[in-house]
Amino acid sequence: MSKIKVMDEILANKIAAGEVVEKTMNVVKELVENSIDAKSSEIIISLVDSGVKSIIVSDNGIGMDEDDAKMAFLRHATSKLKSLDDLFYIESLGFRGEALPSIASVSDVILKTSDGNVGTLITLSGGTDIKCSRCDLQEGTTITVANLFYNTPVRLKYLKNLYVELANIVDYVNKMALSYPNIKFTLKNNDKILLQTDGNGDLLKVIYSIYGVDIAKKMIPIDGENDDYYISGYISYPEITKSNRSAITTLVNGRVIRNNELNKIIVDCYHTYIPKGKFPIIVMNIEVDPILIDINIHPTKMDIKFSKMDTLKSLVASLIEERLKQLTLIPTVAVRDLSSVSEVSTQIKKSNISTFSEEVNDFSNTNYEEMVLDFSVQEEKVSYDSLNDDTSLVSEEEKKYRIKEMIPRGIVYLTYIIAENEDGMYIIDQHAAAERINYEKVLSSLKEKVLSVDLLVPIRIELTFNELLVLRGHFEMLKEYGFFIEEFGHNTVIVRSHPSWIKDDIASECIHKVIDIVAQKEEFDFDQFVWRMAATMACRMSVKANDYISYDDQVFLLNELRKCDNPFTCPHGRPTIITYTKADLEKMFKRSLD
């Protein structure tokens, strides 16, 4: 008797649901993508208890007639693919025809839809008992999904708590709003509005709705193209960071994707601008001919394969790096009183879109005046109209140096140089500044022909056998950089020479660090190695905090800092310099009350 049998349709749907519908966010994702494919200009997502009890997605799209409404719940029924050739030129978000039957098989579903001619009502329970009738409805579609996983209790058991489920939905809808700024999105949970955009096509305004005014003011537009790709969007100032990559939103033809190679390129562009373990806020839309990408490699359709990845990475890197080089990135210690906080609070209350309204309201209800320091807002009063200002771009006259000349006036705590010019007062971290100067000098030396210096007494270093195997494969590369290393007995190497730019008093420490970097990397990244080696050398070579430096040394340090390609941060991403503008100082001392 045959052991292999064809599964019935209900069982097959539930297996498909295991791929597509694992949490409430999956349901929202599939329904919202259908609404977008239906050419909707407004989408409303209403949740009850984070979607566990019910999810309602309404749109004003093209809708369906009665026959299409019935067909929509059959497996692999889709209006988006007609032939095999269409699979290589996918422009819609959905295309497999699995989402609706998979969702219906694990919930109760009510579909109301109209193409403008007739209204159709479809009801299902557990993917069966399909009932169809007429209804009155304006053009568009409303789908209600209730009692999710009622007939699959094991899957219901493994849902996260309501806060986690809601957080996943909010994150997804935020990204879709960023993908489609021309669509008006409204997200509600238990009748409380969590996000609302106006659909006017202004991406920066969507960023404002999601992240708030302070971050929106610190976003930089990018725009560029090559023969294969066109890129547009916004990147954040280095001072605006998150502790994970979730704020890096990459879109391909309006589709939210995850691509580790792209994320790595983006983060590497901020190398030395931000500390390790911190990540920028990015909204990057990539437009490409669909023939050059493959989105059919994962059930979620969020992973994607590019045919010309090298040209894409090159374009992304050049756009971000050039944009950062155009900016003056000195954090300003600006002054603002509580009236400005109250103004922001009023805006937030009017928009009903911020999860921080209660926190801000605590400040705005205070009746007395107080002056506070703010590292992120450079203007006392804020409004959406000012978000598009790009006053931090350097002028033509300043392009030779990215910061103006500063005159040192003293040192405090044997660490911080106090300086001034006509714009204001500056505080410079002497170690961070020296690190940046030495880092760029070492990096430049590494790219040139390296002169070696022989050690009078070779340095002997013991390794584990696997470290030795890794290091052995990089002997020639290290020799090019001035390190002559050879094996010496069991699991031991000796270093006979080092680059001439390493000072004798730190040679042993630097060499040990370089060997450690190389030996620990089985998958060796050449660029990362150069960066890390330069940063390590620069740190060892630089004046430290609490080291005394003379006035002439201060002048030299500030002048050398001005010559750097990036004078604003040390190699590890810490700021080298912050400023109090003259206007802010006058406000603090009540010389200016305007």
Domain ranges of the chain: 9-196, 218-325, 334-374+377-390, 406-584
Block residue for tokens 């003056």: 328
Q: For the chain, what is the total number of helices (H) and then of strands (E)? A: 19, 26
Token duo for residue 534: 């330069």
Token duo for residue 412: 């405090």
Q: Could you tell me the pLDDT band of residue 115, with boundaries at 50, 70 and 90?
A: confident
Which fold is adopted by the domain 218-325? Ribosomal Protein S5; domain 2 (3.30.230)
Q: What confidence score (pLDDT) does residue 436 get?
A: 93
Average pLDDT over residues 63-76: 75
For 9-196, CATH gives 3.30.565.10
Query: Does the pLDDT at position 378 exceed 60?
Result: no
Q: What confidence score (pLDDT) does residue 383 get?
A: 41
Cβ atoms 451, 468 nearer than 8 A: no
Query: Does the pLDDT at position 230 exceed 80?
Result: yes
Which fold is adopted by the domain 406-584? Ribosomal Protein S8; Chain: A, domain 1 (3.30.1370)
Token duo for residue 187: 């997200």
CA–CA separation, 254 and 233 (whole Å)? 12
Q: CA 511, 517, 521, 526 torsion: positive or negative? A: negative
Q: CA 553, 559, 563, 569 torsion: positive or negative? A: positive
Nearest Cα to Cα of residue 144 among 233, 56, 34: 56
Which helix (DSSP H) or strand (DSSP E) does residue 235 occupy? strand 229-236
CA–CA separation, 319 and 230 (whole Å)? 11
Nearest Cα to Cα of residue 19 among 78, 79, 75: 75
Query: Does the pLDDT at position 73 exceed 60?
Result: yes
The least confident of 154-158, 566-570, 583-587 is 154-158
Average pLDDT over residues 230-257: 88
pLDDT tens, residue by residue, 306-358: 778 889 989 999 999 999 888 777 777 655 444 443 443 444 344 433 333 33
Q: Which residues contact 357 (CB under 8 A, 6 or more apart)?
A: 345, 348, 349
CA–CA separation, 541 and 439 (whole Å)? 9
CA–CA separation, 181 and 450 (whole Å)? 52
CA triple 477-503-557, angle to 5 deg: 110
User: Of 2-16, 195-209, 436-450, which one has max mean pLDDT?
Assistant: 195-209
Q: What confidence score (pLDDT) does residue 317 get?
A: 92
CA–CA separation, 126 and 101 (whole Å)? 9
Block residue for tokens 């080298």: 576
Q: What confidence score (pLDDT) does residue 355 get?
A: 38
Q: What confidence score (pLDDT) does residue 126 get?
A: 67
CA 309 to each of CA 228, 288, 328, 427: distance values in angstroms, whole numbers, following the listed order = 10, 12, 31, 43
CA–CA separation, 371 and 337 (whole Å)? 5
Q: What confidence score (pLDDT) does residue 223 get?
A: 93
Share of the chain above pLDDT 70, in %: 75
Q: What confidence score (pLDDT) does residue 580 get?
A: 87
CA–CA separation, 330 and 429 (whole Å)? 13
Question: Biggest alpha carbon distance in the chain?
Answer: 96
User: Of 152-161, 292-301, 401-410, 577-586, which one has max mean pLDDT?
Assistant: 401-410
pTM to 2 decimal places: 0.68
CA–CA separation, 494 and 372 (whole Å)? 57
